[in-house]
Every structure is written in structure tokens, then in C-alpha cells.
Amino acid sequence: MTTTTIDNSGTIFNILYRPERHEGSENVNDELYNYVVQTDESFENLSRKEKCAGLTAKDISTGNFKRFRFDRIVAMNAIK
């Protein structure tokens, strides 16, 4: 597993998440996935008229940015 550099711009969280899609496939079994991420910013969903629909965060293990909808986050615990 590759670990990316963590900067001081966002809080580190452990997120337990139930995505609609995971790695390009529909999550038909409603499985939960765990992510350790560094928060970046919130995002809005204009098509649903949601001013604050979730957050964007950098996955610590891959360095990739991911989006997490608030209504699909099961648990979110601050680590650092």
C-alpha cells in the first residue's frame, strides 16, 4: 500500500461509507467501505438543488480525490 504525503490543510478522518457506485460498479449489496481521508472542501449538487451535498477529500492510501455524499456517510471519526 502506498501512502501519500499529508499536508496541514485539512482534518484527517476515518469514513465508513455506503456508496451508490464503487470502483465503477453499482453497489447492489449496499456494502460499506472504509476510507482514511484528508478533507478538502464541501460540494453542491445543482441538479438536486442541494447547496451542501457532501465533501471532497483526498484518500490517504492512493492520493486520489473522492467525493462523499453526506446522506451516504455511515460514520465519520476525526483522527488528526
Predicted structure pTM score: 0.73
Confidence of residue 1 (pLDDT cuts 50, 70, 90): very low
pLDDT at 2: 42
Cβ neighbours of residue 25 under 8 Å, at least 6 residues apart? none
Would you call 49 exposed, middle or buried from its count of C-beta atoms within 10 A (0-12, 13-18, 19+)? exposed
Separation CA 46–CA 50 (nearest Å): 6
CB 45 within 8 A of CB 22: no
| Model confidence pLDDT, tens digit, residues 16-68 | 999 999 889 999 999 999 999 998 766 556 566 656 678 889 999 999 999 89
